[in-house]
Structure 1
Amino acid sequence: MRFSVFLNARTMTPDADRQLTVDLERHALLAGELGFDAIFLPDHHFNGYMAIASDSYMFASYLAAKLPAMHFGFSVTTVPLHHPVRFVERINILDHLTKGKLLVGVGSGTTPEEMIGFGVNYKDAGRIAEENLAAAEALWNKRMEDDAIELDGFHKGRVLQRIAPSPYGEKHARLMPVAMKDASITRAAVNGWPAFIPAFTPPQIGGLEPLTHVKKYFGKYHEQLLAAGHSSETVKDALSWTTHSYQCVHLAETDEQARKEVLEILTSYQEAVDRESAFNAKAESDDANKKTDRTGSALTEEWMATWCLYGSPATVIDKLRAYQQVGIGNILCGTVTGPLTEQRLAYADQTLRLLAQHVTPAFQ
């Protein structure tokens, strides 16, 4: 089982953005020193959720120069907000800079506030995502002698020659769909790509039985992956990166200490989410941008069961054994969840060290 670090911190005010960038770099370098498999970054805009994630590809390229052995991933790129040409170009560049160690999570997005900043209506996001992914595949496959590719959807363009640079390998970098919709499961399985395996089924976001959902979605993906006729090497690679994500991972020496500290972390996290609620309401002021699902408070047992992994090293190992038995290949650990204060960063570093010392060896 692989273990990866998810950089998902928040800032509450503009004057905190500079220190956030410094602290995230240091935390990522510590993850590299401790032997974690990958750094994953989100794709967010306007609201202080990972302020530097307004261009995660740029931050990843900077970190890649400092961590040449590290894989890099995105959890996840909001595809409707990216012009297909720029999407493909930037992936190819980062594919070269990481020497093929790139995993591009793809999804349609979850936040109307971010959508409207790019002129996208929330209700159209799924359609535009599919449109953009189809265009991206056409652009990746285009040879110089082929006819021009006409982009005539939400994003416009006419590509005469080819995308430069070309991909690092024979194929373009692996994409990682979220294995929730049938089309996304099929896209991952048919292409031999990994997938993100969710722990809930919309419209209910959260619950006390996350493993039930993980088994359901993993089973659908795994069945199609095996049926697609890939080589054993392709299947093995895809499963080794098939990912279950935790928004908040926190370890301490004892279960009691971990519970006390994770409640402190989640209290600050929920305060940040509540601060954004007025802006979310403005974004959803018309029918084209109404969300159909809601996430409950992070301080509920249902939220914590779905999104958190916490406890002593022994407790965390016990919890993860069940996911290993299902077949999950990669655990994505949100180690910096919430506003990244000095104390929060100390907790995050504590978690990295305890994971590296006790948990990851138990799964190798």
Structure 2
Amino acid sequence: MHFSIYLNPQTRGPEEDVAIIDTTIEQALRATEAGVRGIALTEHHFSGYNTYGSNFLLAANLAPQVPAETMFLLACAVPPLHNPLRLAQECNLLDVLTKGRLIVAFAAGGSPVEYAGLGRDPSVRHEQMLHNLDVLERALAKQPSDPPYEWETAFEHGSLRTRIMPAAYTPGGPRFARATQNDEGVVWTARKGWYLFTARETADAMADRLALYTRTLAESGHDQASIDRLLDWSLVQKQVIIRDTDEEAMAFALERMEEMASHQRKNFSMTGDIKDAKHLKSVVGVSPQNPQEFLDKAMIVGSPDTVQKGLRSFADVGVRHMSLLFNFGFMTPAESGRSLDLFLAEVLPALDPR
């Protein structure tokens, strides 16, 4: 099993933003120097759930600072919030800047606060994600000699006369993934031959999800070498809290979940006038507003030995890559750094000897 560090630091207000971003960069550099093989960056806007907002910009900043073999995993980009041709251009440019060490995952997102801020309608997010991805792929495939590509989304339209610039570093274009929590999405992803990004489930449930993905890849004509390549960097994401004892870690986890749940309730109260806002009760499967379910499905909490056992349970069902979030629920640098230090010193060497 190998790991990436998942960076999604929350902020309470503008007075915290710069220091949080500085800490995020420092932890990314520390983790990759210690042997963590990838950096996962997400996209959120306006809600306080992600301080840096643009995963493309942060990845471009980090790319020349980390070890040359470090993978960058955008988990995720939200197509309905983007102009699809600018998104295609940014995928290609970041592929160049990372020398092909990039996988861009797509998801529908859904925070009404984010959709409202960018002038989008969250009620059509799933349909628009699939439509915008089709526009993006057609734009990436267009050659300068092809006829103009006339495109339209629910929010924009245009005519591509030449090509997407720059060309990607990776032959055939950047590598893509889909982030999904359901069987329909897993099947769609496998049929496309994309990487699978998923989260917030138990090891047993993840075994079933991974089996469906692998089986559908084979049924879709992928050979074993291609399947292995996809499985190597498909990911399962977890929030991880490590302390010297299980009791200390659990007490801190419950405190952080309450802080996060309070922040979510405050944000949710702002969305009553936004169409389809009700789904926010759980954006990604489970919510810290239901602490036990969140602990069971979204987190691995405990001493270094307990966390190691929790991660091994996923390795035992075939998960090869885990993306771990150490900074969750408005932690201070020292609080999140404690989990990261214990992981790097006591857990990582046991699970990824390289």
> Which residue does 2:186 correspond to in 1?
185
Cα distance, 1:260–1:293 mapped onto 2, change above 3 Å: closer
Distance in 1 between the 2:83 and 2:184 partners?
A: 21
Q: Does 1:357 align with 2:345?
A: yes
Match 1:234 to one of 210, 221, 226: 226
Q: Does 1:196 align with 2:184?
A: no
Distance in 2 between the 1:102 and 1:82 partners?
A: 19
Q: Secondary structure of the equivalent of 1:326?
A: coil
Displacement of 1:15 in angstroms is: 1.4
Distance in 2 between the 1:288 and 1:270 partners?
A: 20
> Which residue does 1:266 correspond to in 2?
257
> Which residue does 1:219 correspond to in 2?
211
Cα distance, 1:256–1:182 mapped onto 2, change above 3 Å: closer
Q: Are 1:336 and 1:348, in contact at CA under 8 Å, matched by a contact in 2?
A: yes
Deviation larger for 151-160 or 179-188: 179-188
Distance in 2 between the 1:179 and 1:288 partners?
A: 19
> Which residue does 1:107 correspond to in 2?
107
Displacement of 1:230 in angstroms is: 2.5
Displacement of 1:292 in angstroms is: 7.2
> Which residue does 2:330 correspond to in 1?
339
Distance in 2 between the 1:239 and 1:190 partners?
A: 14
Deviation larger for 168-177 or 352-361: 352-361
Letter in 2 for 1:21: I
Taking structure 1 as the reference length, what is the TM-score of the superposition? Answer: 0.89
Cα distance, 1:32–1:241 mapped onto 2, change above 3 Å: same
Q: Secondary structure of the equivalent of 1:240?
A: helix
Displacement of 1:83 in angstroms is: 0.9
Distance in 1 between the 2:262 and 2:275 partners?
A: 27
Q: Are 1:241 and 1:329, in contact at CA under 8 Å, matched by a contact in 2?
A: yes
Distance in 1 between the 2:92 and 2:308 partners?
A: 37
* Structure 1 segments (4+ residues) deviating >6 Å: none
Instruction: Write the deviation string for residues 49-82 of structure 1: whole angstroms up to 9, x where unpaired.
Output: 22212x2111110011211432111222111101
Cα distance, 1:167–1:122 mapped onto 2, change above 3 Å: same
Q: Does 1:300 align with 2:291?
A: yes
Distance in 2 between the 1:2 and 1:339 partners?
A: 26
> Which residue does 1:174 correspond to in 2?
175
> Which residue does 1:58 correspond to in 2?
57
Unaligned runs of 5+ in 2: none
Distance in 2 between the 1:330 and 1:264 partners?
A: 28
> Which residue does 1:252 correspond to in 2?
243
Displacement of 1:94 in angstroms is: 0.6
Distance in 1 between the 2:30 and 2:316 partners?
A: 29
Q: Does 1:328 align with 2:329?
A: no
Match 1:284 to one of 272, 288, 292: 272
Letter in 2 for 1:359: V
Instruction: Write the deviation string for residues 174-196 of structure 1: whole angstroms up to 9, x where unpaired.
Output: 21112435553234323432202
Instruction: Write the deviation string for residues 123-152 of structure 1: whole angstroms up to 9, x where unpaired.
Output: 111111011100111011111111111112
> Which residue does 1:11 correspond to in 2?
11
Distance in 1 between the 2:212 and 2:62 partners?
A: 35
Cα distance, 1:92–1:73 mapped onto 2, change above 3 Å: same
Cα distance, 1:297–1:49 mapped onto 2, change above 3 Å: closer
Distance in 2 between the 1:4 and 1:296 partners?
A: 23
Displacement of 1:256 in angstroms is: 2.0
Letter in 1 for 2:59: A
Instruction: Write the deviation string for residues 207-235 of structure 1: whole angstroms up to 9, x where unpaired.
Output: xxx23432232221111112222243321
Distance in 1 between the 2:234 and 2:320 partners?
A: 5
Cα distance, 1:340–1:255 mapped onto 2, change above 3 Å: closer
How much is the aligned-residue C-alpha RMSD, in angstroms?
2.0
Displacement of 1:363 in angstroms is: 2.5
> Which residue does 1:205 correspond to in 2?
none
Letter in 1 for 2:176: L
Taking structure 2 as the reference length, what is the TM-score of the superposition? Answer: 0.91
Q: Does 1:317 align with 2:308?
A: yes
Displacement of 1:316 in angstroms is: 1.4
Displacement of 1:111 in angstroms is: 0.9
Cα distance, 1:265–1:286 mapped onto 2, change above 3 Å: closer
Q: State the identity as a percent.
A: 27
Letter in 2 for 1:35: G
Distance in 1 between the 2:247 and 2:148 partners?
A: 62
Letter in 1 for 2:79: V
Deviation larger for 12-21 or 125-134: 12-21
Displacement of 1:350 in angstroms is: 2.0
Distance in 1 between the 2:188 and 2:139 partners?
A: 17
Cα distance, 1:26–1:286 mapped onto 2, change above 3 Å: closer
Q: Are 1:199 and 1:212, in contact at CA under 8 Å, matched by a contact in 2?
A: no
Cα distance, 1:296–1:357 mapped onto 2, change above 3 Å: closer
Q: Secondary structure of the equivalent of 1:197?
A: strand
Displacement of 1:309 in angstroms is: 0.8
Displacement of 1:24 in angstroms is: 1.0
